[in-house]
Amino acid sequence: MTSAPNPDYDQAALAAVQQWRFKPATCDGEPMEKKMAVETEFHRYY
């Protein structure tokens, strides 16, 4: 896991990703384990 320069961003990214729901990858109809990386970007809007 890579951290952001500001820990508040880490918490915001984690909170956002924890709300996601998805179906697992399957092979012949059976769920299979798959690792994935999630990249998030934060932008400042003034």
| DSSP string over 7-36 | HHHHHHHHHHHHT---PPPEETTEE-----
Query: Per DSSP, what are the bridge partners of residue 27?
Result: 30
Q: What are phi and psi of 15, to 5 degrees?
A: -60, -40
Report residue 2 as tokens.
Answer: 């890579």
| Sequence spans of domains, the chain | 1-46
The beta-carbon contacts of 29-35 under 8 Å, at least 24 apart in sequence, are none
pLDDT averaged over every residue in the chain? 80
| Cα 17 to Cα 32: distance, rounded to the nearest angstrom | 20
With 90 as the cut, is the pLDDT of residue 41 above it? no
Mean pLDDT of 6-26: 82
* pLDDT of 28 over the 90 cut: yes
pLDDT of residue 9 exceeding 80, the answer is no
* pTM strictly above 0.75: no
33 vs 36 pLDDT, higher one? 33
Is the pLDDT at 3 greater than 90, yes or no? no
